[in-house]
Structure 1
């Protein structure tokens, strides 16, 4: 999950929040009429917080309630948004005072190449063992790597654990086409659990211990179509997993028994991403759909609390800074225009937009944050870096010309490692000179200046 990768630890809320405690941006943004979240299971599984009195304004839905997204092109659209080779980067550097636009600490040196053997779709570092990397691929497999030793500790090919317990539509889908890929794989907040969202219907939850044992825990037939994203949350001391999918819904599940707690309805297009967070002791969820709509939800049945348009009006992901005080999103339009922005939470409007993207990105630009200071995004065969306080790009690296057009990337909790995907189906790690010496490597030094290289890379669909 994004919170885990950035070092954010979900707090355990024991008291209901007071009315009006949620930041004003939720109330002041373009609010939609509520779409009911459908509770599932007996009352009391999750104690809903006291709901602030949000003012609701009706919004006229666009022509046709999103039915076009369920046409045959929907699955292809999501594949274009998701599929592509991926690789990882690592670096370590000293801390810096705010507003000091120094390049120190940014990755300059490739120190690890991990040969996954298939296209990497998703990555996440363990929140405590920060050289342990979880990887999911385009053939449905997951792997767990020890970055320091280059050892692949665990490799699990895709397998349905109990087909008889799955829905008939899912069984029919597998008979028609058995190909399944990983849309997202994430660690839970303490690293004792991990979740995998697949391109067809299901989510699988594993338990993991420090000795490296991985055990099957839950298999959930979560959505009709693809499960596009997954996030762990802990509202009111209830361990949950949040999922979203092609069926235009967001769902919340109990991670102990796999019971569905809530179904949030109201999106009019497949839901591309979810992000679980809390503010002022109030847990909530952001969801983004491929029509560009961003919604915010509480863990109750009263519908979305806010709705606004993400830049690019297509595929958008959201993330907070490590300390949870600053909110960012990165979105890409169907025409390839990328938008990396910071949101003003008190107003629900864009506070700043960062420059430096190519005019037409290939695929969906991915991004991450680290150290309450840096932003990184994969674009134009490069990893590009910004200081959060400046809209101008700091620098970029091409990782020895090994990156695909829109590389995926993930920082570990401390920001000492950054993983990025390569076009050679391997994971590349970067470090500064100090850390590379510490691991007794002789890495190649990557020039920190801007580079633009156009390579012929096939588009995977």
Structure 2
């Protein structure tokens, strides 16, 4: 099959928007769209949250996030900022994490200190809890009960915490380094965790027993950073999940904990900084430390489109994306949070409608992740396309 990679090197080849900046913010550590799709929430490394809201107008009747119109950097009339407890930590050393409730009413967040619960309408801090040590490194709401949160910790444990009664219900031990990712599947009734030890664990979310554990297949001869973050995110089918590591992207089947697809970054290229599924799980958006962004088909982890730094960065070569977020309803829209505190939103040109041109055979297929088999590392050409 002839495969043509779409290269985007000029701003005119896609639609992009730089969000209004805030002077007190240096580095974007976490980024998420609200579930309603009309706002973007960022957490900076110094513990400050920024919320950009799109308003319905003549050019954007739905009021959804878009690269076509600029949002407002929103603040309540009180003028307060949502700011985390940073507990005398050096912001460069502390880990930032947050989770948004399903109805967008609350954000739970930590930046090395206590965990804060904020009201998203008023920005008021409702409560703070869990003073370190250990410090929280990842947060996830239970899909069936907003009062239950899984909290990954820097002491390698996962604490299952009930907010309503202010009590730790379970403490899960299985990792040897800090927790860097958590994802629930309500279909399989499991929690998948990942750690800086490159290990993935599957826990039953009824009794919290560990069901399976496996180490990532790190390419031979590849040395990774001592504390390389591994992230996990469930596919829309809630059976497969994406694993993101600086060396690779992989799709796993959760019940068997089997790697069904893997894309490995060639050794001479920049590490992956973050990646995410598109909202329909048909694409994977990945950003790299050399400031390129790659769009993959999720079914085969095949590189479809590459957005080069020249599209959105001026000549400042020291800036790179820290985190990437996908719009919850628009499968072709994503946002990047950068190391200089800026956030950019990207969409394909309206005339094209999507990123890159897939081969004819893939056009009609929906989720064919399950049809793929061996943990093939991709052909040399796939690895070498970057």
Aligned counterparts of 1:240 and 1:416: Cα–Cα separation in 2: 32
Aligned counterparts of 1:114 and 1:423: Cα–Cα separation in 2: 15
User: What is the correspondence of 1:113-124 to structure 2 with a 5 Å cutoff?
Assistant: 113-116=19-22, 117-124=25-32
Aligned to 2:47: 140
1:269 corresponds, among 177, 180, 192, to 177
2:83 corresponds, among 158, 161, 165, to 158
Aligned counterparts of 2:239 and 2:4: Cα–Cα separation in 1: 20
Aligned counterparts of 1:297 and 1:329: Cα–Cα separation in 2: 16
Aligned to 1:393: 303
1:406 shift after superposition: 4.8
- The answer to whether the 8 Å contact 2:239/2:255 transfers is no
- The answer to whether the 8 Å contact 1:101/1:387 transfers is no
1:143 shift after superposition: 1.4
- The answer to whether the 8 Å contact 1:123/1:134 transfers is yes
Aligned counterparts of 1:369 and 1:286: Cα–Cα separation in 2: 16
1:139 shift after superposition: 0.9
Aligned to 2:149: 241
Secondary structure of the 1:365 match is strand
| Deviating more after overlay: 139-148 vs 296-305 | 296-305
User: What is the correspondence of 1:187-266 to structure 2 with a 5 Å cutoff?
Assistant: 187-200=100-113, 202-208=114-120, 212-221=121-130, 223-235=132-144, 237=145, 239-266=147-174
Aligned to 2:62: none
2:15 corresponds, among 96, 109, 114, to 109
- The answer to whether the 8 Å contact 2:170/2:208 transfers is no
Change (3 A) 1:221 1:347: closer
1:323 shift after superposition: 4.0
Aligned to 1:431: 347
Q: For 1:267-319, what per-residue CA distance to the aligned partner results, in whole angstroms no more than 9, with x for missing partners? A: 22222222222224x2x211112111111222455631211112448421111
1:137 shift after superposition: 0.5
Aligned counterparts of 1:435 and 1:146: Cα–Cα separation in 2: 26
Q: For 1:88-141, what per-residue CA distance to the aligned partner results, in whole angstroms no more than 9, with x for missing partners? A: xxxxxxxxxxxx9997xxx9221333324421000111101x121111011111
Secondary structure of the 2:47 match is coil
Aligned counterparts of 1:150 and 1:294: Cα–Cα separation in 2: 38
- The answer to whether the 8 Å contact 1:207/1:215 transfers is yes
Change (3 A) 1:222 1:273: farther
Higher strand share goes to which structure?
Answer: 2
- The answer to whether the 8 Å contact 1:197/1:204 transfers is yes
How many residues align structurally?
A: 316
- The answer to whether the 8 Å contact 2:33/2:327 transfers is yes
1:412 corresponds, among 323, 327, 337, to 327
Aligned to 1:378: 287
Change (3 A) 1:358 1:420: farther
1:375 shift after superposition: 0.5
Aligned counterparts of 1:396 and 1:238: Cα–Cα separation in 2: 38
TM-score (normalizing by structure 1): 0.60
Aligned counterparts of 2:17 and 2:321: Cα–Cα separation in 1: 21
Secondary structure of the 2:350 match is helix
- Where has structure 1 moved over 4 Å in runs of 4 or more? 100-103, 176-182, 360-364
With a CA cutoff of 8 Å and minimum separation of 6, indicate the structure with the bigger relative contact order: 1
Aligned counterparts of 2:341 and 2:257: Cα–Cα separation in 1: 39
- The answer to whether the 8 Å contact 1:199/1:225 transfers is no
TM-score (normalizing by structure 2): 0.71
Change (3 A) 1:141 1:239: same
CA RMSD of aligned residues (A): 3.5
1:127 has 2:48 as partner:
no
2:274 corresponds, among 366, 373, 391, to 366
Change (3 A) 1:319 1:302: closer
- The answer to whether the 8 Å contact 2:26/2:339 transfers is no
Aligned counterparts of 2:91 and 2:229: Cα–Cα separation in 1: 26
Aligned counterparts of 2:248 and 2:92: Cα–Cα separation in 1: 32
Aligned counterparts of 2:229 and 2:283: Cα–Cα separation in 1: 22
Aligned to 2:229: 315
Secondary structure of the 1:425 match is coil
1:422 shift after superposition: 3.4
Aligned counterparts of 2:100 and 2:209: Cα–Cα separation in 1: 28
Aligned counterparts of 1:114 and 1:260: Cα–Cα separation in 2: 39
5+ residue gaps, structure 1 = 1-99, 161-169, 333-337, 438-445, 455-461
- The answer to whether the 8 Å contact 2:202/2:211 transfers is yes
- The answer to whether the 8 Å contact 1:125/1:412 transfers is yes
